[in-house]
Amino acid sequence: MKWAKETILSWYETMVKIRQFENILDDYNNQGKIYGTTHLYNGEEAIATAILTLADRGDYALSTHRNHGHAIAKGLSTKAMFAEIFGRESGINRGRAGSMQISDFSKGFIGGNGIVGGNFPIALGLAKALQMDQKNQVVLCFSGDGATNQGTFHESLNLASVWKLPILFIIENNQYAMSSYTDHMTAGDIVSRGQNYEMKSLKINGQDIFTVAEAFLQARQVLKDGPVLMEVTTYRFRGHSRSDKEDYRTKDDYLNYQDPIVALRDFILIEGYRTQDELAFMEERIYQTLMEEAAEAYASPAAGCEVENE
């Protein structure tokens, strides 16, 4: 499929924004400026970017504890997200949700979920409501590989298939369930689990944004006839959370997975869409904007404080 230059450049900008947003967030975290922890999406940016920028505006998305990339790709305000994670009143959920439960219903982003597998039944109910109301929207339910071993996953896939619900189950297999390799925790292929529930199922490379984009458009076309499961192989470049020392993996583990941002950058340069300097300028502009947003958000009043009306 031939993609427009503007689309590809927009993808690159979104992926860079996700990566830089989280790197800045990690710096604040390491300085002890965030209560609790954060779960970073580094290395998985192509999945959220391809799917959520191509999704219809009215489609609903549900995420996990690793939700920042999905939220940004769905169009949520990064400044309001910074404020939310910092526990500020100006946060997108007024500082009450924190890092894991960010949501914005006006954008169709139902939000993150700190419970592993907790979003499957919510996606099921939402899709059933859409079906009953004869709406054209679909539900995009993101989860990690570890969540596929929860009972909620199997129960939800079973009913989604029986009821022919418009749900795309996107399993981001980043090779680890916390600190355990996926093949140590999961018997068989995840993609076969969807096949066992008689739904269209596919397994694709999540580090190539073009592959993800094409697979999503194909899946989106058939969701009116029932659910689809998409296992997307990817790799998280950072630990599970701030407390993860990552002593369970070696440097060689990284060599099997390309950086999706680097891969897209190389494509853009080869095609002559932008020069090295132009991309560097874009990246610096995004970084400076995010740094300013983070500083302003951190300096704003904490959640629960009285704010005078101007």
CATH of the domain at 156: 3.40.50.970
Mean pLDDT (the chain, rounded): 91
CA torsion, ordered 145, 146, 147, 151, to nearest 10 deg: 120
Which percentage of the chain shows pLDDT scores above 70? 91
Whether 307 maps to a domain, the answer reads no
Distance CA 12, CA 73 (A): 11
Of 22-36, 48-62, 66-80, the one with minimum mean pLDDT is 22-36
Q: pLDDT tens for residues 207-262?
A: 999 999 999 999 999 999 999 999 999 988 766 666 666 666 777 766 778 899 99
pLDDT at 274 over 70: yes
**Which bin fits 57, alpha (ψ -120 to 50), beta or left (φ > 0)?**
alpha
Whether 109 maps to a domain, the answer reads yes
pLDDT band at 310 (very low <50, low <70, confident <90, very high): very low
Whether 303 maps to a domain, the answer reads no
Distance CA 208, CA 267 (A): 11
Question: Measured between alpha carbons, how far apart are the two ends of the chain, in Å?
Answer: 52
Distance CA 153, CA 254 (A): 29
Domains contained in the chain, number: 1
Distance CA 263, CA 15 (A): 11
**Containing domain of residue 11, as a range?**
5-298
Distance CA 144, CA 66 (A): 9
Whether 248 maps to a domain, the answer reads yes
Whether 256 maps to a domain, the answer reads yes
